[in-house]
């Protein structure tokens, strides 16, 4: 299957700082990338959908000014958690797809801890 690389796998940051998470499709071009948040023992919650070269589409209740998404190329999308607070601590996962009707492949996830 296709490979999606997410970095970093773990990050600890202080309250008020910003953290950037990268998601790369290594062996295919991803026209669409998705960002999820997962709470312990829960399913994946979609935060936003990003299409290369256009603004991301955020799900209801997700603050677009807090979770900045950039999808500048067909192989890279970034999620920046701005002015992080302890309640932003979570497991963030990206996925990439070759098209809107195709399979979605997931990155390894990023464990964010805000102290």
Partner 1 sequence: GQQLNQSPQSMFIQEGEDVSMNCTSSSIFNTWLWYKQDPGEGPVLLIALYKAGELTSNGRLTAQFGITRKDSFLNISASIPSDVGIYFCAGRQGAQKLVFGQGTRLTINP
Q: Which is nearer to partner 1, 67 or 105 (CB)?
A: 105
Is residue 14 close enough to count as binding partner 1 by CB under 8 A?
Answer: no
35-to-4, 42, 49, 110 alpha-carbon distances in Å: 13, 16, 7, 11
Could you say which residues in the range 38-77 bind partner 1, by CB under 8 A? 41-44, 46, 49
Alpha helices in 35-108 (DSSP H): none
Is residue 35 close enough to count as binding partner 1 by CB under 8 A?
Answer: no
DSSP state of 54: S
Rounded to whole angstroms, the Cα distance separating 34 from 12 reads 23
Give residues in contact with partner 1 (CB under 8 A). 1, 4, 6, 34, 41-44, 46, 49, 91, 93, 95, 100-101, 103-109, 111
């Amino acid at each position: 299957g296709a490979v999606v690389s997410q970095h970093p796998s773990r990050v600890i940051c202080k309250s008020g700082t910003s953290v950037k998470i990268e998601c790369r499709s290594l062996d295919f071009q991803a026209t669409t990338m998705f960002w999820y948040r997962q709470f312990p023992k829960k399913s994946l919650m979609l935060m936003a959908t990003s299409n290369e070269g256009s603004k991301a589409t955020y799900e209801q209740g997700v603050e677009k000014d807090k979770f900045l998404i950039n999808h500048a190329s067909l192989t890279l999308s970034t999620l920046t958690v701005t002015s992080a607070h302890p309640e932003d601590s979570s497991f963030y996962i990206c996925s990439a797809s070759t098209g809107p009707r195709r399979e979605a492949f997931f990155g390894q996830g990023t464990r964010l801890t805000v102290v």
